Amino acid sequence: MELTEIEVALANPNFQYRLKAISALKAYDPEIAVPILIATLKDPEFLVRSFVARGLGTQRIATSFAALLEMTKFDDTPNVRAEAANSLSLFGKVSISHLVLVFCQDEHWLVRRSILAALEELDCPEQLIEVCTAALDGEDLTVREAAIDSLGSLVGSSHHQAILVQLLSQARSTSPRVRTRVAYALQKFDEPQAQSALIELRQDSDCQVVAASLENLFNH
């Protein structure tokens, strides 16, 4: 699309036209695309704002980064905040401390799961453990499950023992879903404490927990 067509489409009351215009901006250099994207940060349609967040992630300059930070903090739609957090992560290591802060301030499960996945990709075990610890203290089960899976991804790292302690602390959770994720994660550990916890989980009252704790035995 030509710039004039993009401007016309962005003024169209039908948001589908605005989505096409935002998508077309990826063909333009940041100095052209980013000011237009930033001007669309307050679009009334959350799908358009999600496309804006995605577009800013591909146009990696300082003003894009600042705009994405604003979206993670102030947009009223969790889908948009999650997309903005994911786009922030595309800037690499510079985004890590900001993502940790957003995680601590935003308790919505979609935002938190997006950040957990992003931090895994950014190879920052200390910060990943920090947000996983915060997640395990939270109430949302989907986030707690994702945090346990993320901790399991760090097995064999220099943080191996700290991760094991975190997982063992969840082995007697009141949630069967949490205990199930712990059972899967503990199978990656050879330590006696992990094996003892697995033996206990094989006696669990929930059949899914039992099945998860037995998986390694069936696969050998």
Q: Does one domain contain both 214 and 165? A: yes
Regarding whether 97 and 1 lie in a shared domain, the answer is yes
- pLDDT-based confidence at residue 218 (cuts at 50, 70, 90): low
Report pLDDT for 117. Answer: 95
Compute the average pLDDT of residues 79-83: 98
Q: Give the pLDDT of residue 157.
A: 84
pLDDT score recorded for residue 107: 93
Q: How far apart are CA 106 and CA 115, in angstroms?
A: 10
One domain, residues 217 and 138: yes
Q: Output the pLDDT for position 139.
A: 87
Residue 41 and residue 118 in one domain: yes
Contact 194, 166 (CB under 8 A): no
End-of-domain residue from the set 77, 100, 123: 123
All residues at 6 or more sequence positions from 10 whose CB lies less than 8 Å from its CB, including other chains: 17, 18, 21, 22, 36, 40
Please, are residues 15 and 9 in contact by the beta-carbon 8 Å criterion?
A: no
* pTM confidence score: 0.89
For 121-177, what is each residue's pLDDT tens digit? 999 999 999 999 999 988 899 999 999 999 988 888 888 999 999 999 999 999 999
**Domain C-terminal end among 123, 151, 167:** 123
What pLDDT does residue 87 have? 98
**CA-CA distance, 60 to 56, in Å (whole number)?**
7
Name 185's Cβ contacts closer than 8 Å, sequence gap at least 6: 148, 149, 151, 152, 155, 167
Domain count, the chain: 2
Residue-wise pLDDT for 21-63, tens only, equals 999 999 999 999 999 999 999 999 999 999 999 999 999 999 9
Give long-range contacts, CB 8 A cutoff, 24+ apart: 43-46. Answer: 43/15, 43/18, 45/15, 45/18, 46/77, 46/79, 46/80
Residues of the domain holding 39: 1-123
- 74/176 same-domain check: no
Q: Please report the pLDDT score of residue 219 as a whole number.
A: 58
Give the closest residue to 143 by CA, choosing from 94, 182, 110: 110
Cβ–Cβ under 8 Å, residues 2 and 32: no
Do 39 and 92 lie in one domain? The reply is yes
Q: Are 177 and 212 in contact (CB under 8 A)?
A: no
Last residue of a domain, one of 123, 154, 187: 123
The encoded tokens of residue 42 equal 């307050």
CATH of the domain at 52: 1.25.10.10
Residues 107 and 144 in one domain: no
Burial of 132 (0-12, 13-18, 19+ CB in 10 A): buried
